[in-house]
Amino acid sequence: MKIKLGASLLSWITPNWTAEAGHYAIKKTAQTGFDLIEILLPTTMEFDSETVKKQLKENKLNVACSLNLPKEAHIPYYPKAALELICKALDKTAAVESTFLGGVLHSGIGVFTGNPVTAYEKEIVINVLGEAALYAQKSGITIGIEPINRYESYVCNTAANVLEIIDKTTAPNLAVHLDTFHMNIEENNFYDPIIASGKKLKHLHITESNRGMPGEGTVNWDALFKGLRDINFEGNLVLENFSSSIEGMQQAVSLWQTSPHNAEELAIGSLHFMKERIKDLQ
């Protein structure tokens, strides 16, 4: 199948990885009927790859990995620390036999200078991600760079920002990782960034404008899926919406309003939504 439908680890647990919680998320993702789970790697890299690989095989699940750089690995400030952390994440990705590492890999979430990104800062980011891409090539891994909204980063907010980095590194295994929540804030529409990304788009987080059930918010799903059809999209569509029914999730992702759906309802409803929407893409 050209398109794999996945669920993020965060569909079931908070970002704080534990072996027990991770196993629970793997089982729930498989039981709900997804093809794939996206595992958000802990920045501590305390992650038993061999055990997780075994659990994935037992549950017949494909896997993609992701990493969100913390403040202490903000590339413009700490390029060496950032590269070391990304390479460790690539090692974990290879160890679970995944060929994709996505996430916020351009900057530390929540770090700001009070100004737009400078040409000098961009150069540092380009150099680090270029080095990471070379390292990833040894394991056949594609690195997907996820732009996020202005309230979380000043480095990459749009698909165009990511495409600029990719073009300047010329690395064939750097890709675009988009997220409809962030697109809804930063992009002019949902169609043009998809078209601009083209075959470089490999991973897409499916989530509503309020992080709830797809179709119950303001995301223009018609435009998004038209774009995917027009580029003949081949990659992962991964559910990344959150439910306040998960203990600790409100605090972890600033989800201050009570969700109308619990995690199970959200996952089942979202998977049905995605299956209906991709009928024209297969």
Residues 191-207 have pLDDT tens digits of: 999 999 999 999 999 99
Q: What is the mean pLDDT of residues 272-276?
A: 96
Cα 118–Cα 123–Cα 128 angle in degrees, nearest 5? 130
Domain count, the chain: 1
Q: Is 257 exposed, middle or buried (0-12, 13-18, 19+ CB in 10 A)?
A: exposed
Residues 20-67 have pLDDT tens digits of: 999 999 999 999 999 999 999 999 999 999 999 999 999 999 999 999
Confidence of residue 235 (pLDDT cuts 50, 70, 90): very high
In CATH, what number is assigned to the domain containing residue 57?
3.20.20.150
Domain that holds residue 80: 3-280
Rounded Cα distance, 123 and 275, in Å = 40
Q: What is the mean pLDDT of residues 258-271?
A: 91
Residue type at 265 in one-letter notation: E
Q: What is the mean pLDDT of residues 123-136?
A: 98
In this structure, what are the phi and psi dihedrals at residue 255, rounded to the nearest 5 degrees? Answer: -95, 75
pLDDT at 282 over 80: no
Confidence of residue 280 (pLDDT cuts 50, 70, 90): confident
Residue type at 59 in one-letter notation: N
The stretches of the chain forming alpha helices (DSSP H) are 19-32, 49-58, 79-95, 119-137, 159-169, 180-186, 192-197, 221-230, 249-253, 263-277
Confidence of residue 185 (pLDDT cuts 50, 70, 90): very high
